[in-house]
Structure 1
Amino acid sequence: MNKNYDYVLVGAGFYCSIIAERIANDLGKKVLIVEKRNHIGGNCFSETNIETGIEFHKYGTHIFHTSNKKVWEYISNFTTFNSYYHQVLITYNSKVYQMPINLETINSFYNINLKPFEVDDFLEQEFKKESYTNPKNFEEQAINIIGRPLYDAFIKGYTIKQWGRDPKDLPASIIKRLPFRKNYSESYFFDTYQGIPTDGFTAIFDKLLASNNIDIQLNTDFFEIKEQLNSSATIIYSGSIDRLLDYRFGELDYRTLDFEFEVVNYEDFQGTSVMNYGNQKIPYTRIHEPKHLHPERTYNLDKTLIIKEYSKEANREEPYYPIGGEVNKSLYTKYLKEVKKVYPNLIIGGRLGDYKYYDMHHVIENALDTYNNLIKKGC
């Protein structure tokens, strides 16, 4: 192992890849990226299904969206984006509805014909049946937003499958990620910039990490080689913070995902890129059909790729989603304080490192800020 690296980055997702690109190309310094998987790109990694030629996101559908011009201008140096706008549907009791909940969802579910200006009065009648002055958890917060019937149909079962917990045991803040519309708008995001990378996500990482100043070691566990590294090197870490101290205070709570891939003999299986399933008795949370992510591409096949997604409790190897809550927040703070003593040259960030449910644009912004404020200024 070469000990001459001044910067060692742990993980090859957006956070570390962007910082590596900046150090290599802006500062002109050598960096080492250590990645335990056999590929770059983190959870944004995309590849092509051999049988159909359809490019898919191995770890679930990722849609790029942002209103941050700085983030957009930076990432546009490494890709162009297609015109895809994200729409999600949900199947409940064998009927398909719009998701997030909008006026079409409300009217279809209740079999009524409300106008936008009538929604508040209609929901007020639901709130009279059940509402909470100071919502203490996910369920109470959701009921305060959409009422009990819509919550039971479209949120409760999906949430139990996704998070593996009674919604009463989840923080109220999680529901804030889900938009709610009182008109017929079907777009999931309202950001200024939105789309799928024209050449796929992996192509972005190929360009980010193309510099000769960047060395990459795949299939490598940082904790197995850290003693071989330059002791004065700056470590930039995007993994789970509790792993840094071998879980000495206990484990932070995460969810992880399993995927079931299948090629089916239909040109189009479900007519959209993502179909959610609200009923708790259906074991998967959603089905992805990635061909719909690239409307600019032509597939001359009577086959399509579908991917069923299952959520489960995370093991130590593949944490995806920080669950959060006060107990986990307190535990994270405890780890952060201690980590600074054990790793004096450590910078930590990203979704796992910060234990925050970041979207892609948040991670990119986080990485650029880390580079500009902590690394470049310190040189």
Structure 2
Amino acid sequence: MNIAQPPGQCFALVTETYPPQINGVSNTLGKLCQGLLGRNHRIQLIRPALPGEKPGSRQAGNLLERCVRGLPIPGYPGLQWGLPAQRKLKQLWSRERPDAIYLATEGPLGWSALRLARRMKIPVISGFHTNFQQYSNYFHLGLFHEPAMRYLRWFHNQTQLTLVASTTQQRELTRLGVQHLSMLGRGVDCEQFHPAHRCEMLRSQWGAGTKDTVLLHVGRLSPEKNPGLLVESWSKLKTAYHDAERKLHMVIVGDGPSADELRKRMPDAIFTGALTGSALAGAYASADIFVFPSLTETFGNVVTEAMASGLAVCAFDTAAAHQHIQDRYSGSLAPAGHDQLFNDNLQWLAQDVEGRRSIRLHARHRACQLDWQAIVQRFERYLQHAALSHTIPAQAVPSK
């Protein structure tokens, strides 16, 4: 006997990025959207049309995708800003008014959705998925740091609630004046990312023998991800490493504006380009150490994916690593910005084979506690709570 699910609600998700695009925000939005659909809700997904895709609407079951016009983001091939779409959104929301709206990104599309939601008195919450205010330091745009922060603070303080991925992000945004913050967190698929996907044939293609040590980096190859430290840590490790039986190998998965420069500076590393699905899972599981020097993450999904795959993670004590790694127990952590300790930790992981084996077991155990279903249910509760509330923050002006 089939028991019918109770009728769900209608929620609108507004985002500038969504699968098949490859980044942490896209991955998170895909999981949240599919999770809500699985809980019998109707979803309006508003996003920019992908290259080669025409703007317009398409319906598949309880999912309505409304694709709007966008413009490419300089330096990020395949990613776009969504252009303001207030008229199109008004037509959509007048036909079927969402119970609540989630704004995942703060670009022109998100801005227009926020303005319209306030005018139509539709409850709206937001998520802080990307530390754009920090990127100015890496793209020599220091003059834009304060204006960017004022805008982000204003944007999020117009919503009932801003969801964050990690405790370190929550503390930083509180310091910067963003109000009404709540923890959402992130999950990881421990079936997709699993040590059982380790492949000796793939390792041999990398030139790695059974006893060799493979270091892996996964992520966008871009200045804000601190690629200079990736180069430095690899160079110093090779100089300090002494083990005649176990050779070192570096594999870099991903693409981005720094890719060509990294290939020049790391000629002995293997660059695979961007990977997804089983190819990505196999790359994780076939490595031994995960090297992650980024300091600008709101969370860092790749950290928990590496842990689920049974890797020993070398990272800074921030975002996902801070939240889910216990130093020298389930990974290694260096205080943010302490490059020397980061390098020392990497050398310790490479040289202490027995210690690394224990860390990999504990990393997998911790990752398996991070269930996406629990995150989706928490997200659902935030949307439902917003839908019950008719309180909308008073209009404010960004502070100078």
TM range (shorter): under 0.3
- Structure ranking higher on relative contact order (CA contacts 8 Å, 6+ apart): 1
Greater share of helix:
2
Give TM-score scaled by structure 2 length: 0.23
TM-score by length of 1: 0.24
